[in-house]
């Protein structure tokens, strides 16, 4: 070992879902939207004056912040934007989780949380979900250095009612509570109305799922002005120009098309409900999903076997070889055509 290697920060990075290349692939493994972004996004990108690329972008991304503020009827000072919600959550860890006490999050949850905690050297404790994969708010009524959980949770897809989310925030007013609402548009109850009531609440959202723009990398958060200005101070101490000009334009166009947004979200929800019935008919049990994916376990056939067999047929779903969930598959809701191909393949794997 060279002596410089002793000073290298040791991290085990987050493992994202595979991004296979090629045609004829059915990709239901990373919770992307199966439909394109709003038509206005294409026009906005086409109309970009590329001359302007010689200039740095607005570090405050004011156009995008104002468009989000308008849409949700909050003040621009209550909004933080970043390069996907991963960037926003990472910044929030760096800004708010500096206590001697451990932060708390569920044992089964977004697998980036423990990675950020390790990277930023934040102590953490995981709290087991109950047997139905639900969060029990009482488990979070104890001294801690902060709380984070997704609602709906991932990869379980289970949603916590707003009254129960509020119990967690209410009992933890001496720390920052982050509610990661990446999937909330697909049927969850948002904690956004609580932002004015609790100055310790940060609600994080993304354009990656319900606004069909994972590739553009836009995330945002709502919080009290003090929370937001603390996050900006940290961000501007690290990299001011994270939001590029194209992403700002595309984000504004996406948030302005309400009809398109509603139409793709309701289409995904109806395909999800149909998919749940079809999977149950094939012998799967699914959680009550309020997200754009199902979390499913087959009564007899091991999840890992189904995962591999689907993959050999070019159908990608997500499998986590982790305690408690190693017999489950996380299946992103695709188009109806993609879902039909999935049912056909599952039928073959299970009954054939
Ligand atoms: N939170 C949760 C719970 C997620 O599943 C994801 C998607 N991987 C993210 C945040 C991050 O999404 P993005 O960075 O694309 O906004």
Cβ atoms of residues 65 and 222 within 8 Å = no
Cα-to-centroid distance, 113 and ligand 1 (Å): 11
State how far the Cα of 137 lies from the Cα of 152, in Å rounded to an integer.
Answer: 14
- Write the pLDDT tens digit of every residue in 154-169: 999 999 999 999 999 9
Select the more confidently predicted residue: 15 or 327: 327
Cα-to-centroid distance, 332 and ligand 1 (Å): 13
Percent of the chain with pLDDT over 70: 100
Question: Quick one: which atom of ligand 1 is closest to the CA of 208?
Answer: 15
Cis previous bond, 46, omega within 30: no
- Write the pLDDT tens digit of every residue in 16-25: 988 998 889 9
Cα-to-centroid distance, 86 and ligand 1 (Å): 6
- Give the residue, out of 32, 86, 115, 202, with the most ligand 1 atoms within 8 A of its beta carbon, to mutate for a pocket test: 86
Q: Which residues lie with the beta carbon below 6 Å from any ligand 1 atom?
A: 84-86, 110, 150, 154, 180, 182, 206, 208, 214, 219
Cα-to-centroid distance, 346 and ligand 1 (Å): 27
According to the model, what pLDDT value does residue 149 have? 98
SS3 9: coil
State how far the Cα of 298 lies from the Cα of 206, in Å rounded to an integer.
Answer: 31
Give strand pairing partners of 26: 315
- Write the pLDDT tens digit of every residue in 122-152: 999 999 999 999 999 999 999 999 999 999 9
The answer to whether the predicted template modeling score (pTM) of the entire model surpasses 0.85 is yes
**Span 177-183, mean pLDDT?**
98
Closest among 178, 195, 154 to 294, alpha carbons compared: 154
C-alpha distances out from residue 309 to 205, 248, 252, 301, 316, Å: 34, 41, 41, 11, 10
Give strand pairing partners of 106: 127
Cα-to-centroid distance, 303 and ligand 1 (Å): 23
Q: pLDDT-based confidence at 233, cuts 50/70/90? A: very high
Cα-to-centroid distance, 51 and ligand 1 (Å): 32
Structure tokens at 106: 């569920």
Q: pLDDT-based confidence at 1, cuts 50/70/90? A: confident
Cα-to-centroid distance, 117 and ligand 1 (Å): 16
Question: Quick one: which atom of ligand 1 is closest to the CA of 153?
Answer: 3
Q: Rg of the chain's alpha carbons, rounded to an integer?
A: 21
According to the model, what pLDDT value does residue 22 have? 87
State how far the Cα of 106 lies from the Cα of 170, in Å rounded to an integer.
Answer: 18
Residue linked to tokens 């090629």 = 22
Query: Which of 19-28, 34-43, 175-184, 258-267 has the weakest average pLDDT?
Result: 19-28
- Give the residue, out of 31, 85, 183, with the most ligand 1 atoms within 8 A of its beta carbon, to mutate for a pocket test: 85
With vertex at residue 333, the alpha carbon angle to CA 329 and CA 338, rounded to the nearest 5 degrees, is 100
Q: What H or E segment, with its residue span, contains residue 347? A: helix 336-351
- Give the residue, out of 89, 91, 92, 112, with the most ligand 1 atoms within 8 A of its beta carbon, to mutate for a pocket test: 112
Closest among 164, 220, 179, 173 to 199, alpha carbons compared: 173
State how far the Cα of 327 lies from the Cα of 113, in Å rounded to an integer.
Answer: 22
List, in order, residues 6 or more apart from 289 with CB less than 8 Å away.
152, 157, 158, 186, 187, 272, 276, 295
- Write the pLDDT tens digit of every residue in 284-341: 999 999 999 999 999 999 999 999 999 999 999 999 999 999 999 999 999 999 999 9
Question: Quick one: which atom of ligand 1 is closest to the CA of 207?
Answer: 16
- Write the pLDDT tens digit of every residue in 255-267: 999 999 999 999 9
Mean pLDDT of the chain: 97
Judge whether residue 36 has pLDDT over 90. Answer: yes
List, in order, residues 6 or more apart from 340 with CB less than 8 Å away.
none
State how far the Cα of 136 lies from the Cα of 129, in Å rounded to an integer.
Answer: 7
**Span 69-74, mean pLDDT?**
98
Cα-to-centroid distance, 160 and ligand 1 (Å): 18
Cα-to-centroid distance, 81 and ligand 1 (Å): 14
- Give the residue, out of 87, 207, 208, 243, with the most ligand 1 atoms within 8 A of its beta carbon, to mutate for a pocket test: 208
Strands (E), the chain: 26-27, 79-82, 103-106, 124-127, 147-150, 177-180, 201-206, 219-223, 284-286, 293-298, 315-316, 318-319, 329-332
**Span 251-278, mean pLDDT?**
98
Judge whether residue 110 has pLDDT over 90. Answer: yes
According to the model, what pLDDT value does residue 23 have? 86
């Amino acid at each position: 070992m060279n002596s410089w290697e002793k000073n290298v920060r040791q991290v085990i990075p987050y493992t994202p879902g595979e991004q296979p290349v090629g045609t004829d692939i059915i990709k239901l493994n990373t919770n992307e939207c199966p439909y394109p972004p709003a038509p206005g996004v294409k026009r906005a990108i086409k109309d970009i004056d590329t001359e302007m690329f010689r200039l740095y972008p607005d570090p405050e991304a004011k156009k995008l912040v104002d468009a989000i503020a308008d849409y949700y009827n909050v003040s621009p000072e209550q909004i933080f934007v970043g390069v996907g919600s991963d960037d926003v959550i990472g910044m929030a860890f760096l800004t708010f989780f500096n206590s001697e006490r451990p932060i708390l999050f569920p044992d089964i949850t977004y697998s980036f949380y423990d990675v950020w905690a390790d990277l930023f050297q934040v102590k953490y404790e995981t709290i087991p979900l109950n047997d139905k994969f639900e969060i029990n708010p009482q488990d979070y009524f104890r001294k801690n250095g902060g709380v984070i959980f997704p609602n709906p949770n991932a990869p379980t897809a289970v949603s916590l009612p707003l009254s129960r989310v509020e119990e967690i925030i209410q009992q933890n007013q001496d720390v920052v509570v982050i509610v990661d609402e990446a999937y909330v548009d697909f049927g969850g109850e948002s904690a956004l109305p609580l932002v004015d009531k609790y100055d310790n609440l940060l609600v994080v959202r993304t354009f990656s799922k319900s606004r069909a723009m994972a590739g553009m990398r836009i995330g945002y958060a709502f919080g009290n002005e003090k929370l937001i200005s603390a996050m900006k101070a940290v961000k501007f101490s690290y990299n001011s120009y994270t939001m590029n000009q194209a992403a700002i334009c595309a984000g504004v166009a996406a948030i302005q098309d309400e009809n398109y947004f509603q139409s793709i979200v309701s289409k995904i929800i109806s395909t999800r409900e149909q998919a749940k019935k079809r999977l149950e008919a094939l012998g799967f049990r699914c959680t009550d999903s309020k997200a754009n994916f199902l979390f499913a376990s087959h009564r007899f056939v091991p999840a890992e076997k189904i995962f591999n067999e689907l993959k050999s047929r070019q159908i990608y779903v997500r499998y986590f070889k982790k305690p408690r969930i190693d017999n489950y598959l996380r299946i992103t809701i695709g188009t109806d055509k993609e879902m039909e191909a999935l049912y056909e393949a599952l039928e073959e794997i299970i009954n054939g």
